Copies of this chain bind each other. A is one copy, B any other.
Amino acid sequence: MFPAIIARVSPRHFVKYTFVKVDPAWRRLEAQRREQDKLEFIAACEDFADGHLLQSFSLVGTRGDAELMLLAEAENLDRIHEFHVVLAQSGLMKWSEISHSFLGMRKGSEYSEDDRSVPRGFRGKYVFVYPFVKSREWYALPAQERWRIMQGHIEVGREYPGVDNHTTYSFGLDDQEFVVAFDTDDVGTFLDLVQRLRTTEASRFTVRDTPSFTCLAMSLERALNALDGEPVALAAGL
C-alpha cells in the first residue's frame, strides 16, 4: 500500500506561507504615504485572490519577527511566483522583509484517508503554523510500523474535533519536510492537544518543530490596519 500511495500524484496545489516583517522606519512615514503603500499591497492581493485561495493573518502581539502572514494557494509555482513579483512592487514591500517563508504542496497522507489534495482554506479564528522535520530513524522504520504509530497520533487528534489540521509537504522544496498548520477557535484546546501529543510514540521522532507561529485570522484590511493603526478605505474587501 505504501508505494502505491507515494506514487499518487497531482493535480496537487502549491501552498505558500509568507511572513512579512515591516521596517520600523515605515511607521515613521507620512500617513498618506502609508495608506498608499497598503493600498498597493491590497491591489496585489486582490489580483491574485481572483481565482485563488488567499488568506491573511496578523502576528502583531504574538511574535516579534513578523507582523503579517499571507497564505497563497495556486495550481503551479509560476502563479505563486507571479503573485510575489506583483506583491514586491507594492509600497509596503519596499519597506519590508520576508522574515519567514514556507513552501509546500498538497498531498494525500499515507497514514490517513482524508483527501488533502484539494484547496481548503482555514476557517478558525486562530492558525498555528510550524515547519516540521522527522528523524531519519523514523523513515528507517517499516511502513507498517510507521502506519501503526501514526494511528495512535491521529486518534489523539480526533479527541479534539475543534482543531483542524492543514499539513502540506515540502520534501526537497524547502528547509522542512512538512508545513504543519492547525486552525481552531479555541487556543486553549489547541495548547492542550499539542501538550497531549508530546506523549505519543510518534512524538519521539520529531527533530524540529520550530519556529511556531500563532496567527490571528482577519481580513487583509484589518491585518494591514494592525501595522500602523490606521484604516484604509477599500474599494472591495477580500
Interface residues of A (CB under 8 A from B): 6-7, 9-10, 12, 14, 16, 18-19, 23-25, 27-28, 58, 60-65, 76-78, 80-86, 88-89, 93-101, 103, 105, 107, 126, 128, 136-137, 139-140, 143, 169-175, 177, 182, 186-196, 198-199, 201, 203-204, 206, 210-212, 214, 216, 225-229
Contact = CB atoms under 8 A, between A and B. Distances in A.
A214 to B, nearest CB: 5
B86 A62 contact: no
B191 A107 contact: yes
Given A85-B60, A229-B88, A190 B212 contact: no
Contacts of A24: 23, 93-97
Nearest to A101: B64
A64 B100 contact: yes
* 10 residue pairs, one from A and one from B, having the closest CB atoms: A64-B98, A172-B194, A61-B84, A61-B81, A64-B101, A139-B198, A171-B194, A171-B195, A89-B229, A175-B210
